[in-house]
Each structure stands twice: as structure tokens, then as C-alpha cells.
Amino acid sequence: MIKRKNMRITIDDPETFGKIIGDCIYRVSSFIKFDDDERDEFINTFHFVLEHWLAKDEAGIDFGEITFIISIQEHALTVKIIDQGPPVNELDLGKHEGHYKNYLDNCRKAMSHARSHLNKVVMKNLGRKGRELILLKFVTYKDKTCNSFEKNDQKEIIHKYKGPIEIREMKTEEAGDLSRLVWEVYGRSYLYEMIYYPEKVVDLMKHKLLTPLVAVTDKGEILGVLSLTRDSSTPAICEIGQGMLAPSIRQRGIFSKLVKMTTNQAGKEGLSAVYAEAVAVHPHSQESCMREGLHETSLLLGYLSAEVDFGKLEDEDARGKRNAVLACFYMIKPPVSETIYVPGEHVQMVKKIYSQFGLAPNISTESCDFGEEEVASLELHTDKSEIKLARILIRNYSKRIDEQIFADLKQLQAEGFEVIWLDLPLNLPGTSTLTHKFEKIGFFFAGVLPHGGSPDGDILRFQYLNFDNVNLDLKIYSEFGKELSEYVLGEYGKYGK
């Protein structure tokens, strides 16, 4: 198997050295199984992108030193271009009429052409470090039975561990073992970057923000993990996350045992609910959640960064796209509010979500009036990691809250946040009154977040996607999960696009 290998080249004149870079890419591509057509398509696309992305025009743009990072791994060729050109906002491409019109037009042409020929094209602003363009192409498997690059086309041999497994709380001195497990399973693509830093894991454990439960061999080797992760913005609930198993212990029911132990631990700590984010790229983690009594309450489209690599568990069509998760809850305590306020068009779906837990809350669709003097109260939480997620939590409504939400939305778009959640307290009449205004500006139904608005109770979550590169080919395990997913995708079609 080919591990990731990188070549880094820095130049200052793309017109002079561009062909040399192309020749390097051509030679490097011979290490993976591109056929001649695929190799030529990548090289031709690269030269078109280079000509337009770094085009010099009458604006006199200086791109400074330009770095090319050429990477190969078993299934893909990636080229990163990092330069010092002016910042680019993809929302503005092709729409600008000012001094940088030609520059932005050329950037748009480069992006459009690349996306029509490659599997993944990502543009990033790097602040003081400049800007980055990522070009990626996967190998097209001609023989669908072959999915690796071992010599003689043999499949990778996985040595199964058949000995005893102990499930227990991880010790701080084992944090390095945990980081290496993540590397073994996901390489460097795992969503939560902090888990690659043993010292950060230890710090979170000491502050009671992270409790990893691990599957350990009789020799003390960590081969599986599932963690309780706490967020100060939702103190009544806790995520069951960062779950993974080494290939050597899969299909032994160990993940289900980890789920069971984490839900028991949460109950001992007095939490109101726990939840897991089960990926929709494949149904396996969803199946484990259902088996242990968790139920789907929301579908979060595009939540997972396109950088996350699920390897052989991911269909080729899903590669290079942001992927969805199903939020699955295990209710420890009943909802806080006796009456919840739900927009009329979403009542039936909300009822079905609660019925999974044997609950039938009193639902009101009544509207209410707001005085001119009433002031909205909002909380904003952001995650600027690869998730690029923002969460707007409404604490109190006002007559013109939609104007405030719209202004916040535009600011978050400009800052590059790709997924924006709008959380509406179900204990406030404004939720059943004003939701239609939020849908008009592009938010759409995601589902319910039990106990997510602590201390105010449950949350009705809406979502906004600030991108188009989202995987909608979902792999759903349960019948209700399929029903919820179809409902959310329908709402996305009506309001999100």
C-alpha cells in the first residue's frame, strides 16, 4: 500500500517554471494507477488552472513566492497551490465590477474548469499566509473487485486480534496510544484535529471535557475508543463521539459495548441526554446506535468536512464532498417543557421524533405578537476548524429578529463558515410564529435537539449551507431514519438551495 508521500516546490515565476512543475506532477503520478487518459486530464487541467489562477493583468498583482505541494497516496493525487495573491471570496467570483474584475474572472474560470475535470477542488483563504487552492483526483477503478494498490493487485491483509478485550476508561498516560490509533484508522484526515495532540487530549481529560472509553488488549494495546465529549454551551447533554475501531477487532460487537458503557457513564454523571453523530456515508455507526437504544432526532447535512476520508467505507461518488450525520439521542430525563411551540407544517415530523422515546408532548402552533420595545437575545458559537461551523441560539424573540438573523448570516458567510445552525427554543411561542421568516432567507428544517437549550429545554434546529458541494446520496439504516432524511432533503430542496 502506498502511504502518503509529498513533494514541496517553491518558485517565484509560474510562467518560467510552470512546465517544470507539470513535469514533476506527471512523473509523480506514475506511482499510482492513473491510466494515460487520467494522467493527461490532470496535467492539462493543472496547466489551465495555473494560467488563470495566477494570471497577471493590468492590476499588477504580485503573487509572491508560490509553493506547490504534490501528494500521492494509494487512491489519489493532490496538488496544493499556495500563493500571496489577494484574498478571494467564492461568493464574489464572476460578480465583481471593480479594480479586480479580471482577477476574479480568471479565478472563477480556474475553479469552474477544475471542478469539471477533477473530483475535488477547494479554495481557502489562509489569512497572512495567503491563499490556497487544492486540486484532487481519485483513481478510477477499472476492476471493481480491486480496491488497493498492493503488489500483484492483492488485497491488503488484515491480521485479526482474537484475544480478550477489556473496556475501561482511558488513562492520561495512554493519550499517545489514542492519537496513534486515530492515525491508523483515519490517517491525517480525522475531523477533530485535537485528538492528534496527546497533550491536548490530556488537558481536556483533566478539565472533565473529554472522557475516552477504550477497548484494550491483554497486552495493554488500545484498539478502539468512544468518548464522552462535553460542550459548555449545552451542559445538560453530552456527545458520544470520536468512535473508531482498529480493523483487527471489527465485527466482534465491541463498538456496541463501548456505546453501552458510555450511556451508563452519562447516567451516573446526572446528564439529561447523550447523543451520537452517526455518519450517513455508511450505515454501520447508525446500526450500533439503534442497537443500544439511541434514536434519530435530526439530519445535519454537510456537517463533516470534505477532508474526512472514510476509505473503503465511502462510495467513490461521495469523495471530495461534505457529508451528513444523523444526530441520535438517548434520553435519560424527560423534556423540561410540558408544552412546546412548533410551526404547523413541521408538527407531524416533530411528533414522530418524540414518539420514538415514548413521549407525546403537548404541541401548540399558536402565534403571538411582539411589541416594538422587545429586544432579541442571541448567542453565537463558532468553530473555525475544518468543520467551519457556526451556531446561532435564540434566547428571546423580537418583532424584527429576522433582520438581525439575516445580518448575522451575511457576516458568517463573509467569514467563511460553511454550515450555520439556527437553534430555536421550543418553549417559546415565537418558534411557532416566526420560523417562516427564517426559511425565506435560506434556513431549513434539521430536527430536534433534546435538552439542547439548557436550562430552557429542547431545541428546534434549522440549518443553512454556505456551499453546494454536499453529498446527498445518504446511506441510512433504519426506516425512521430514511423517513426523516427524506423529509429534511425535501426541506433543503424548498428553502436551502
Tell me what pLDDT residue 373 has: 60
What average pLDDT does this structure show over 293-316? 78
What average pLDDT does this structure show over 418-441? 93
Tell me what pLDDT residue 58 has: 55
| C-alpha closest to that of 325 among 342, 310, 340, 347 | 310
Q: Is the same domain home to 318 and 262?
A: yes
Q: Any alpha helices (H) in 293-361, and if so which ranges? A: 347-355
Tell me what pLDDT residue 141 has: 47
Strand ranges inside 51-101, DSSP E = 66-73, 76-83
For residue 146, pLDDT over 60 is answered with no
Highest mean pLDDT among 58-62, 186-190, 390-394, 398-402: 390-394
Residue 495 CA to residue 493 CA, distance in Å, equals 6
User: Between 18 and 233, where is the model more confident?
Assistant: 18
Place of cell 421568516: 437
Q: Which three cell numbers stand for residue 147?
A: 480496491
Residue 103 CA to residue 108 CA, distance in Å, equals 9
Place of cell 410564529: 433
Within a 10 A sphere around the Cβ of 226, how many other Cβ atoms? 26
Q: Is the same domain home to 61 and 118?
A: yes
Q: Look at the chain and count its residues.
A: 497
The 8-class DSSP code of residue 322 comes to B
| C-alpha closest to that of 424 among 403, 405, 410, 406 | 405
For residue 99, pLDDT over 80 is answered with no
For residue 129, pLDDT over 60 is answered with yes
Residue 15 CA to residue 9 CA, distance in Å, equals 15
Categorize the per-residue pLDDT at 79 as very low, low, confident or very high, splitting at 50, 70 and 90.
Answer: very high
Q: Is the same domain home to 109 and 244?
A: no
Residue 285 CA to residue 293 CA, distance in Å, equals 13
Q: Is the same domain home to 238 and 125?
A: no
- Dihedral angle of Cα 295, 299, 303, 306, to the nearest 10 degrees: 100
Of 138, 155, 183, which one is at a domain's C-terminal end?
138
CB 429 within 8 A of CB 460: no
CATH of the domain at 47: 3.30.565.10
Tell me what pLDDT residue 142 has: 42
For residue 365, pLDDT over 60 is answered with yes
Q: Is the same domain home to 252 and 204?
A: yes
Phi/psi at 303 (nearest 5 deg)?
-70, -40
For residue 333, pLDDT over 60 is answered with yes
For residue 352, pLDDT over 70 is answered with yes
Residue 18 lies in a domain: yes
For residue 455, pLDDT over 70 is answered with no
Domains in the chain, number: 2
Least-confidence region, from 28-32, 62-66, 445-449: 28-32
Element (H, E) at 325: strand 323-331
Q: Is the same domain home to 245 and 321?
A: yes
For residue 279, pLDDT over 70 is answered with yes
Tell me what pLDDT residue 57 has: 63
For residue 274, pLDDT over 50 is answered with yes
Residue 160 lies in a domain: no
Task: Tell me the whole-structure pTM to 2 decimals.
Answer: 0.63
Residue 10 lies in a domain: yes
Q: What mean pLDDT, rounded, does the chain reach?
A: 84
Tell me what pLDDT residue 48 has: 93
Per the structure, the complete domain to which residue 117 belongs is given by 5-138
DSSP 169-190: EPPGGGHHHHHHHHHHHHTT--
Categorize the per-residue pLDDT at 94 as very low, low, confident or very high, splitting at 50, 70 and 90.
Answer: low
What average pLDDT does this structure show over 89-114? 74
Q: Is the same domain home to 173 and 132?
A: no
What average pLDDT does this structure show over 320-345? 89
For residue 443, pLDDT over 80 is answered with yes
Burial code (b: 16+ CB inside 10 Å, e: under 16) for 77-92 equals bbbbbbbbbbebebee
Phi/psi at 396 (nearest 5 deg)?
-155, 140
CB 74 within 8 A of CB 149: yes
CATH of the domain at 306: 3.40.630.30
The 8-class DSSP code of residue 470 comes to B
Q: Is the same domain home to 118 and 214?
A: no
Tell me what pLDDT residue 5 has: 79
For residue 159, pLDDT over 80 is answered with no
Amino acid at 250: R
Q: Which three cell numbers stand for residue 224?
A: 478502539
- Percent of the chain scoring above 90 in pLDDT: 37
Q: Is the same domain home to 128 and 175?
A: no
CB 22 within 8 A of CB 29: no
Q: Which three cell numbers stand for residue 226?
A: 468512544
